Amino acid sequence: MKTATLTIIAILAAAALAAGGYWLGRSHAPAPPADVATAPAPATGAPQKPGDVDPATGRKVLYWHDPMVPGQRFDKPGKSPFMNMMLEPVYADSGGDASTVTINPRVQQNIGVRTAEATRARLTAPLTAVGTVGYNERDQAVVQARANGFVEKLFVRAPLDPVRAGQPLLELYVPDWVAAQEEYLAVRRMQGQGVDALVDAARQRMRLAGMSDAQIDGVVAGGAVQPRLTIVAPIGGVVTELAVREGMTVGMGAPLYRINGLGSVWINAELPESAAARVRPGTAVEVRTPAQPGTVYKGRVGALLPEIDPQTRTIKARIEVANSGGQLVPGLYAAVDFVPAGAPEMTVVPSEAVIVTGRRAVVFVAEGEGKFRPVDVEVGTEANGMTEIRKGIEPGQMVVVSGQFLIDSDASLKGTVTRLAELPASAPGTLVGEHRGEGRVEAIAKDEIMLSHDPIPSAKWGKMTMGFLPPAAGWPAEVRVGDRVAFTFRQKGAGEFEILSVSRASAAQAAAPAAPAAPAKDPHAGHAPAAGAKP
């Protein structure tokens, strides 16, 4: 019995010593400063690096990020350098991208989501211009008088009359030819030595008088004077200029007719100077006119005239088109479709898949299993409902061509498509309008006010401590550090939030730190059990 009593006394003494040591440690340990926020230590077994599996969820961690700055990635957990909050993990099965949005297949069907594959193709942008038909000035002939004479008869009497090659135009009486022809005939009738030389000299004088070899041969064959000359059309076409009338006297070299051929015509098309680089001599064209609906004429660009019209800022392309039927007449309007040479293959998507937001272009990529991701792209030329993608999309990827604006809206509501806000990747999400909050003033500086605010539902913010820009009118003198305030703010720039108004809600009394409570004493410590008490 005595031995049992001694054992109980030893146990009670050891318990008293342990309680006293615990109390001394609690009362003498230095308290952490009130203004120092300490991050909670990660739980044992929590993921510490990318690739670890979170034991709480069983999901693989890709990286950590701040939900307020989703574009910035971190390779280990800890406190955010941007906000007074812990970093959150991003898991592999969530798409691994803060900009990815997941939509239920049934919802996709309801909002009409359609996709198309990015492909490689040759994209030829059409170019159409309006032109006018004109004469081909290379197919032109001028008829002149080769000697002085009198116009006795006109066979073609009006401008724009059609003529055939070799058709008589007029008859001209040439007095100067009479003397030359009579001299030739007289010398030819002479006999004796040296007559051949005289005949050759007389023949040469007829040539100098303006007679052609054919006309001279006619005089030689007929053996009679031929004072009248019939002038014929050298080419077929229309008479564009008529300068003589019957009875007129004409001199040597005087223009009588101008004839333009109609076998081919020129079409002078006006091109914007910005499109001049897409057209070269030899470029094929298709010509259509209102006078012959459904008829297409083929031709090629003959030349780009080196002159810009200062009024219309256009350059003229000269196009030569065959006109075997004579249907293309000068002055006719024509629509000219240029067919540029084949362009190299490029990555193209339907034009409706591209969302243009200011200076950026975005395409939603379908990644399967209901996941969609916005991708910034660099676009090129557009033609036939297709757009060239120079950077951002590869052939074979599926892009959204219908319903992408609803996907964008869903993503924006979830705060995932921050890149569409045209802010740097490290900037917080965009806030629109004014927001109201309440909190405690932690520090006041010239260029920053530090507040510990309560949750702000309108901005979808949780409770945190962060810096704000002071009001433009200045910080009110009556509001000091430690005060409880109500304030309104707005987003001013990338990651900058400006206080618009502030008022003190109630004076914050600095509470003195409570003294640590003494631990309760064991009622049995230091006392021996009563005599006769049972253990």
At 521, the pLDDT band (50, 70, 90 cuts) reads very low
- Calpha distance 141→239 (Å, rounded): 10
Predicted local confidence at residue 82, as pLDDT:
73
Q: How high is the pLDDT of residue 61?
A: 80
- Of 41-45, 333-337, 497-501, where does mean pLDDT reach its minimum? 41-45
% pLDDT > 90, the chain:
19
Query: Which range is least confidently modeled, 76-90, 194-208, 346-360, 505-519?
Result: 505-519
**435-506 and 101-124+344-421 share a CATH fold:** no
Q: Taking the complete model, does pTM exceed 0.75, yes or no? A: no
Q: Rounded to 5 degrees, what are φ and ψ at 127? A: -135, 120
For residue 435, give the amino acid letter.
Answer: H
Share of the chain above pLDDT 70, in %: 76
**510 alpha carbon, distance to own chain's centre:** 60
**Contact between 349 and 399 (Cβ < 8 Å):** yes
Cα–Cα distance between 91 and 78 in angstroms, integer? 16
Checking if the pLDDT of 2 tops 70, the result is no
Strands (E), 51-146: 53-54, 59-66, 69-74, 88-91, 101-102, 114-117, 119-122, 127-135, 140-144
Q: Which of 17-31, 90-104, 113-127, 458-472 has the lowest mean pLDDT?
A: 17-31
Which of the two residues, 34 and 177, has the higher pLDDT score?
177
The pLDDT value given to residue 510 = 38
- Would you tell me which CATH number, out of the four given (3.40.50.620, 1.10.287.90, 2.30.30.20, 2.40.50.100), belongs to the domain 142-259? 2.40.50.100
What are the extents of the domains in the chain? 101-124+344-421, 130-135+262-339, 142-259, 435-506
- pLDDT for residue 163 is more than 90: yes
Whether residue 304 is predicted with pLDDT greater than 70 in this model: the reply is yes
Of the pLDDT bands very low, low, confident and very high (cuts 50, 70, 90), residue 506 is low
| pLDDT band with cut points at 50, 70 and 90 for residue 291 | confident
- Check pLDDT > 80 for residue 435: yes
Average pLDDT over residues 61-77: 73
The string of pLDDT tens digits covering residues 168-226 is: 999 988 888 888 888 888 888 887 777 888 888 888 888 888 787 888 888 888 888 88
Class of domain 435-506 as given by CATH: mainly beta
Indicate the fold that domain 101-124+344-421 takes in CATH: 2.40.420
Mean pLDDT of the chain: 77
Q: What pLDDT score does 464 carry?
A: 82
- 521: which DSSP letter? P
| Residue 14 confidence (pLDDT) above 70 | no
Class of the CATH-defined domain 130-135+262-339: mainly beta
In this model, does residue 239 exceed pLDDT 90? yes
Q: What is the pLDDT of residue 97?
A: 53
